[in-house]
Structure 1
Amino acid sequence: MKNKSNIILKAENISKQYRLGLVGTGTISHDLNRWWSRIRGKEDPYLKVGESNDRSTKGKSEYVWALQDINFEVKRGEVLGVIGKNGAGKSTLLKILSKVTGPTTGEIKTRGRIASLLEVGTGFHGEMTGRENIFLNGAILGMTKKEITSKIDEIIDFSGCERYIDTPVKRYSSGMTVRLAFAVAAFLEPEILVIDEVLAVGDAEFQKKAIGKMQDISKGDGRTVIFVSHNMAAVKSLCTRGIVLEHGKIVFEGDQNESVNFYISRNEKSGLFSRSNSKGDVSNVYISDIVTLNNKEEPIDILLSGEEITFLIKIEKSNFDKTISVGLGFYDVNDIPQIHCSSEVLNKNYLEINNEFYAKLIIKKWPLFKGEYYINAFLRSNNVTLDHIVESKWIVVEKGDFYGTGKLPLTNKGFYVDYEWK
């Protein structure tokens, strides 16, 4: 019973259907069919049609399910991360949670006020000043003028917009608007704070402030945050639990690390292993596969900076009994070499009896920054190149919490190194 009373938000069988290509629910005939079904106490006939929300394929139905049968609970003080590709249904879910739009079927049960930060300028009136918009948003949240007044100095200070606070919001940049909107949502003390990917609009300094404030809200004040982001490091450091959406359905629910790992393992953005650009001086020794693994030895195609990464290289040979050294080189999209890892340099050579074996390259903290890279792979023996594959595999790297501080370095390219200040 105690656990039940701790639940602050519950989504029960939430589905959302849209009709493609038209504004409104459909034609007059569709509306009449719906009305006739309703007065006879029947189900909406168009709930039985429609396809899942896969934007990469051409559908046959004019109806699409943006969300289907979504069920989850959020406890007080929990930070729930919602992860998924573009078009997975994340923003639709947040709009339903925020009561911006209603579900086609299902019900949202909440306890307390919900403040939403869904997109830049949501809830702001362009002709009104920043100060007037603070009072307007506070009133919408059900706060008295006295309550808002007691918080307004903190809001203005946090937003960094003091100089422009009495200027109409329509003259604000997108960065200024999102700063003020976040400050209003965070400081007016809602029980549930719903935040979409809008933090990407702000600069790095503001993102750090915002993430720190969200941590204070959840840990210090015991309030609930529902957070959508494509920044996997932010999800890992900020959230306590995660759900992964795919084509409008929840495909995974677990703690934040499990959710991120699941999402990364499902992503098909990078290419598969290929020997199309291979060459060598012999034909009976070659690399037949390269698999990328996370620290749980699960296959992944997207790497996070700072994570432990293993490259599992499958080597096949016949009638060859000499020592073999293995190497991988990592190159960016401009063909500039980034890292070169050779077993020969570390005096680690393989002398295997079996005709098939695996070599493991383990990098404890992946150092490359966000971007796409390809791998050149080679085998050598006594200064002879046995196998050499150019672009054997492409990998995608996302930002990660390399230093374990919850903060991401400001640099936009390059690689990370361990260092210390004294």
Structure 2
Amino acid sequence: MSEVVIRAEGLGKKYFIGHQSSNESYVSLRDVVARTVEGFVRSAKDMYNGRQLINGDEVEEFWALKDINFEVKRGDVVGIIGRNGAGKSTLLKILSRITEPSTGRVVLDGRVASLLEVGTGFHPELSGRENIYLNGAILGMRRAEIKRKFDEIVAFAEIDKFLDTPVKRYSSGMYVRLAFAVAAHLEPEILVVDEVLAVGDVEFQRKCLDKMKDVAGGGRTVLFVSHSMPAVRALCQSSILLARGSLQCFDRTASVIEAYLQNNDANHCTIVWDEHSAPGDDTCRLRGVSVTQEGASDVLLSSKTVCINFEVVISKLERDLNIGFYMSGPDMSTLWWSHHSDDSPEFWPKLTIGKNILTCLLPAGLLNTGRYWIAPCISNHGRRWIVNMPPTICFDAILDHGRSPYWTSLSDGRRQGQLAPIFTWKKK
């Protein structure tokens, strides 16, 4: 039996959150000055006693993780999934010894290499070459070991032209390529990877998944956090599902993904963001995505056209701006990608500064019975991700477009396969 290399026992992480009092209609200058003095005294006491500094009049206790127990054996590849705010990144920071737990303990047997944020462990003033040696030393590698792997790291990261450039001038994609290359090639016993890989382009993400398979094949342990269910399914034999800081289940990946999808059992056909929370950057922001169908309410019919609508606010119009999505089927495998620029240029929807409403029409007679997921994305044709979201919008469809009696005789109301198109057959 394989030995246990990660053991979490009663693991918990507690934070204190400050809130401003909002039940007063009028606040005088005297009150403001008094509260400022009180806040300064309280902060000084907290700093002296080594406690967390909190701003605000009211303090709330928040458990990012609570009573987490699990074991991971050597050579296992374990996925960690859950909705935003479930506690995934907090767990990885504790396992990477970045954050101390409030309760419980973690026992690690082996050297840990972590890739949690873009540029983790890099010094911005040092060059790529110097950061490879620095990061390797932090991971406990001897200089001879780093030198032996140096050429492989540079080749994998594809930054040979910028090897002697300070990393503060790197793009986010170059940062993450080099960071992953160092973490994966310096032979740690435990490799911890967060969703940071989403920063890279599609081809680099594929390279990273292949590399993690190689790492696991060498008997080392991998912990992988991702919102991409196909990636988790392809890479991980078992997975952990977190929800609101608690461990919901730790089982075979297929079972955990099924439980995750069941926990998200409500339709989310429409999501709207305000100007402060809208995903994107100074170039453009995604303000809303919706799935609609004429005459439909909760469940869409496969016999009618489905409209996927995007509201995008553009501040700076770039020539190669590309708006699209990928769709996943009921088992979260990717069915297709679609972009507004897929057709010939003369048929592209013309983007303008300000609000743009784009609609993608899914033809009738395509969908099967089941749940479908949409992951919105905006990029400069893959060179830079502006928006790269996990499957976020979901809707249910019912198969009702079959004309053959064999279709209507299906006991579960669906046809085998992800989709159920009707193709034309001819005889010569």
TM category (shorter chain) comes to 0.5 to 0.7
What does residue range 389-400 of structure 1 map to in structure 2 within 5 Å? none
Residues 344/110 of structure 1: CA separation in 2 closer, same or farther (3 Å cut):
closer
Partner of 2:404: 346
**TM-superposed deviation, 1:103:** 0.5
Report deviation, 1:87: 0.5
Unaligned runs of 5+ in 2: 20-38, 53-57, 270-292, 303-327, 336-357, 366-398, 424-428
* Cα deviation code 1:320-351 (max 9, x no counterpart): xxxxxxxxxxxxx9372334154652234869
Q: Could you tell me how far 1:28 is from its partner in structure 2?
A: 5.9
Tell me how far 1:364 sits from its aligned partner: 2.9
2:82 to 81, 84, 88: 84
The structure-2 alpha-carbon separation of the partners of 1:9 and 1:277, relative to structure 1 and needing over 3 Å to count, comes to same
User: Are residues 1:362 and 2:414 paired?
Assistant: yes
2:258 matched to which residue of 1? 261
Equivalent residue number for residue 19 of structure 1: 16
Distance 1:121 1:82 in 2: 22
- Report the equivalent of 1:93: 91
Q: How far apart in 2 are the matches of 1:186 and 1:288?
A: 45
Aligned identity (percent) is 46
Once residues 121 and 112 of structure 1 are traced to their aligned partners in structure 2, the CA distance between those partners, rounded to angstroms, is 23
Post-superposition offset of 1:210? 0.4
Aligned length: 294
Does the 8 Å contact 1:159/1:179 carry over to 2? yes
2:248 maps to which residue? 251
Q: Structure 1 residues 208 and 271, CA, compared in 2 at 3 Å: closer, same or farther? A: closer
Counterparts of 1:288 and 1:129 in 2: how far apart (Å)? 54
Evaluate the alpha carbon distance shift between residue 233 and residue 344 of structure 1 in structure 2; reply closer, same or farther with a 3 A threshold.
closer
Quote how far apart the aligned CAs of 1:271 are.
Answer: 4.8
What is residue 169 of structure 2 aligned with on the other side? 171
Residue 155 of structure 2: aligned partner: 157
Task: Give the AA of the match of 2:403.
Answer: V
Q: Secondary structure at the match of 1:194?
A: strand
Q: Describe the SS at the equivalent of 1:20.
A: strand
Is the contact made by 2:229 and 2:332 (CA closer than 8 Å) also made in structure 1?
no
Given residue 330 of structure 2, which amino acid in structure 1 is its aligned partner? L
Q: Which amino acid aligns with 1:334?
A: T
Residue 125 of structure 1: SS of its match in structure 2? coil
Q: CA RMSD in A?
A: 3.7
Match of 1:360, SS state, is coil
User: Are the equivalent residues in 1 in contact too, given 2:329–2:418 (CA < 8 A)?
Assistant: no
Query: Is residue 269 of structure 2 the alignment partner of residue 242 of structure 1?
Result: no
Using the TM superposition, give the Cα deviation of residue 93 of structure 1 relative to its aligned residue in structure 2, in angstroms.
0.4
Is the contact made by 1:94 and 1:194 (CA closer than 8 Å) also made in structure 2?
A: yes
2:61 corresponds to: 63
Change beyond 3 A, Cα 1:214–1:367: farther
Shift of 1:291: 12
- Secondary structure in 2 matching 1:21: strand
Correspondent of 2:194 among 179, 193, 196: 196
2:196 corresponds to 1:230: no
Give the whole-Å Cα distance in 2 for the aligned partners of 1:64 and 1:142.
Answer: 35
Q: Of 71, 84, 101, which aligns to 1:103? A: 101
Tell me if structure 2 keeps the 8 A contact 1:20–1:63.
Answer: yes
Superposition deviation, residue 34 in structure 1: 8.1
Residue aligning to 1:337: 362
Contact 1:306 1:366 in 2 (8 A): no
The C-alpha deviation readout for 1:114-170, integer Å capped at 9, x for no partner, is 000001011000000001001001111111111110010000001111110111000
Which AA in structure 1 matches 2:82?
A: G
For residues 291 and 141 of structure 1, do their structure 2 counterparts lie closer, same or farther at Cα, with a shift above 3 Å needed? farther
* C-alpha separation in 1, matches of 2:228 and 2:419: 17
Q: SS at the partner of 2:83?
A: coil
Deviation, structure 1 residue 265: 1.1
User: Is the 2:157–2:178 Cα contact (8 Å) retained in structure 1?
Assistant: yes
- Residues 86 and 30 (structure 1), Cα distance of their counterparts in 2 relative to 1, 3 Å cut: farther
Counterpart Cα distance in 1 of 2:408 and 2:157: 59
Map 1:299-338 → 2, pairs under 5 A: 303-304=330-331, 306=333, 334=359, 336-338=361-363
The one-letter code of the counterpart of 2:259 is: F
2: CA distance between counterparts of 1:130 and 1:142? 18
Which whole-Å deviations, capped at 9, do the CAs of 1:230-257 have from their partners, x for residues lacking one? Answer: 0000000000110100000001110111
Distance 1:289 1:268, change over 3 A: closer
Letter in 2 for 1:235: V
The residue type paired with residue 194 of structure 1 is: V
- Cα deviation code 1:238-288 (max 9, x no counterpart): 00110100000001110111111110111145259xxx9869xxxxxxx99
Structure 1, unaligned runs of 5 or more:
36-43, 47-59, 280-286, 293-300, 309-332, 352-357, 369-414, 418-422
TM-score, normalised via structure 2 length:
0.61
- Equivalence for 1:371: none
Taking the aligned partners of 2:136 and 2:99, their CA distance within structure 1 comes to: 21
TM-score by length of 1: 0.62
CA, structure 1 residues 262+307, in 2 after alignment: closer, same or farther (shift >3 Å)? farther
